[in-house]
Amino acid sequence: MNRILSYSFSLLFLLLLTASVKGQCLNISLFESTDSVYMYHTLLDAYSFHFSGIMAIKKIDNTHRIIFSTETGSTLFDFTLTKNKCKANYVMKAMNNALFLALIKSDIKDLLQTYKYKKNYAKRVQEEVVNNETIEYNQSGDKGVIHSKEIYLRFSKNNEIKKIITFQFNSNEQMSESTISITHQNMPITIEMTAFSNAGE
């Protein structure tokens, strides 16, 4: 009888624990509305390249379309992002440098990834290890607003960990009023994005 009781308690405890862990997890999906086009005035600096313009992001079915054009309207690049791949539909010739494009594609992929993190932690809410990369998400407050995401690279040779990219967000959940700053720690690459609306259908 005692054994049955202790089993029951253990089961109940396990159930409660599972529930509380589930309660702590919150999935945040940025850029996920298929009704909105997310618009950012964007400054992109990479080595000697400098570009500024409008970054438009839209979720279409299960893909994201990202179009970056100059203020005066010329398209600089047009990418389609699927789960694992960022495909270039168009890149202006002057921007068509293989290394530069690979870096920008990688940043956009990292930016648009679905965020998962635990609530109720002021800092380092979750570490995610993907291949050799460690990703840290930080949040401010408890309303699901992420304020930064940092990507670390673990070097297999000496197991050293180095921060390589910081994504700084100042945003609400809908990303409607936001600034995003992407900074590479070991390369002169920065992307500054400021949201705006007032676009017509």
Partner 1 sequence: MNKIISLSVLLFISMVMIAQTALPTKDIELVKQKIAASSKNMNTMQSSFTQEKYMSVMSQKIQSKGMFYFKKQNQVRWEYTEPYKYIIVLSNGKIQIKDDKKVSEYDMNSNKAFKQINDMMIQLVQGNVLNNPAYTIKYLDAGTTYLLEMIPTDKKLKAMFSKIQLNFDKTSYEVASFKMIESNNDYTLVKFINRKQNAIVDASKFELK
Residue 118 C-beta: closest distance to partner 1, Å: 34
Q: Which pair of structure tokens corresponds to residue 14?
A: 């396990």
- The C-alpha atoms of residue 198 and residue 178 are separated, in whole angstroms, by 15
Binder of partner 1 out of 1, 4, 5, 60 (CB under 8 A): 60
- 65 sits near partner 1 (criterion: CB under 8 A): yes
Query: Which range, of 97-105, 142-150, 164-172, 192-200, touches partner 1 by CB under 8 A?
Result: 192-200
CA distance 108 to 176: 18
Contact between 118 and partner 1 (CB under 8 A)? Answer: no
189 in contact with partner 1 (CB under 8 A): no
Which listed range, 22-30, 68-76, 109-117, 153-161, lies at the site for partner 1 (CB under 8 A)? 68-76
> Which one among 74, 84, 158, 159 touches partner 1, defined by CB under 8 A?
74
- By beta-carbon proximity to partner 1, the closer residue of 138 and 178 is 178
- The whole-angstrom separation of Cα 90 and Cα 137 is 32
Beta strand pairing status for 133-140 and 126-130?
A: antiparallel
Q: What are phi and psi of 98, to 5 degrees?
A: -55, -45
Quote the tokens at residue 151: 């990507």
